[in-house]
Every structure is written in C-alpha cells, then in structure tokens.
Amino acid sequence: MMKLDFLTLFPEMFEGVLHSSILKKAQEKEAVEFRCVNFRDYSTNKHSSVDDYPYGGGAGMVLAPQPIFDAVDDLVSKSENKPRVILLCPQGERFTQRKAEELANEEHLIFICGHYEGYDERIREHIVTDEISIGDYVLTGGELGAMVIADSVVRLIPGVLGNTTSKIEDSFSTGLLEHPHYTRPAEFRGLKVPNVLLSGNHAHIEEWRTKQSFKRTLERRPDLLEDYTLNKKEEKWMQQIKDEMNQEN
C-alpha cells in the first residue's frame, strides 16, 4: 500500500478531493493511504506560530524550520520505507507525466504544502528530496499542487483504474497527445463518427488513432515531438500529416 502524507496548515482543503472519485476508490481498494498532518501541531512556540519575519527584511512571512523538521522527522521515524519528501514550490521542477510515473513506484510520499512568502532555506536544503511546481504561476499555497500530483500518481498504481490500458494510452504517457474519442450514437445532429471506427478492423483503427495522435501533437504541442524518435513508418505518416495540414491552410 502506498502512503501519502500531506503537511499542511489547512487539512480541511483535502476532504473533498481525497474522498471522491478515483482517490476514494483507491482507498477502498487499500491501494493507498492518505494522511493530512497539520504541522502547526508540531510548533514549540507558545503561540503555536509556524512563521516569522525574514532575516534581512522584506515583504511577507517565512515558514520556520522547526515545525516542519519535527513533523517530517516524526513521519519518517514511523515509516517502513524511506519516503520521498516533496516540496511544492514555484521554483521546483515542472511536473510531468514522466515524473508521475516515477513517483508511482514509491512506497511513501510526503508533501510539504507551504503558505506565506516562502520556506526557510534549511527546509529545502536538508529534508527535501524533490521540489515540484505544477506550472509557471503562483498559488496561495501548496495544497492544490499536492492534490494535483496525488491524483496523477495514484491513478497509476496497479489495480486502481478499472481499465489497465487507460493509463498507458493517456496523453503524454506515449510521448504524444491522445487521439480523439467517440461514442454512440454514430450520428448526432448530422455529425458522424469516422467510418474507420465503425469498421471493426482493429489494425486500421489502431493506425488511425496513432496518426491522429501525431496530428494532434503536431497541431497543439509540437514541442513534444522534439524528443520523440520516429521510425520509418511514422516518418511517412508525419509527412502525410504535414502535407494535409498545408493543403488545409
């Protein structure tokens, strides 16, 4: 069972997310265990404060090291495995599907969700194994980022998703964006499902889907193709797609 601990000043923020949809089912299947820990409970300050003014002056307050160090030490001491300690931070590595797949192989993850102006640098330097950002923008705290990462990681745990091929075919898992999907009816308001999907020819369907993935990636995220190695068949498809796109323009 994977364990995910969230160190946060606002544990109530996690209630709806952790007890709904796939994350709820993952817990029911005993594939994962979630714990929300208020690191204010570890403060030794008489006012239970967790932040202080920054040395050298400046705007905002900085999270102090003592409550977070003690909280992480406590969780690590109770862990059967050495956990990855993840700091949610705008300066961190940008979160990707590849990172989600990497983290899904771990037994224990600890997320540090900060607030205020930032963290005491000693937290970053001495207890954190990963710094992660979910995008190039700033949120009021790390909670939403931790929820995003948790959702992305937990769905990759074996047995969590009903269809085991879903996670393999997801956008980014193959290095490409996912192909279009259709369902019944075959015609809706005069809009028809592509004939190939109704043909029953699985080889043709698979080829169509792969070509559509290439086309969608080329149109929307051409940067993903920079690190993608095309085989000879795919090179031919890509040229066909480019020719078709040029004709459309």
Q: Is 227 annotated as a binding residue?
A: no
Residue of 101, 102, 170, 178 marked active site: 170
Instruction: Give the separation between CA 103 and CA 183, rounded to whole angstroms.
Output: 33
Residue of 52, 117, 169, 178 marked active site: 117
Active site residue 117: yes
What's the 3-state SS for 157-183?
CCCCCCCCCHHHHCCCCCCCCCCCCCC
Q: Is the dihedral of CA 161, 166, 170, 174 positive or negative?
A: positive
Q: Is the peptide bond before 185 cis (omega within 30 degrees of 0)?
A: yes
Residue of 70, 90, 106, 151 marked active site: 90
Q: Is 138 annotated as a binding residue?
A: yes
Active site residue 52: no
Q: Is 139 annotated as a binding residue?
A: yes
Cα end-to-end distance, the chain, whole Å: 52
Active site residue 209: no
Q: Is 135 annotated as a binding residue?
A: yes
Active-site residue list = 90, 117, 155, 170
Q: Which residues are annotated as a binding site?
A: 114, 134-139
Binding residues for S-adenosyl-L-methionine: 114, 134-139
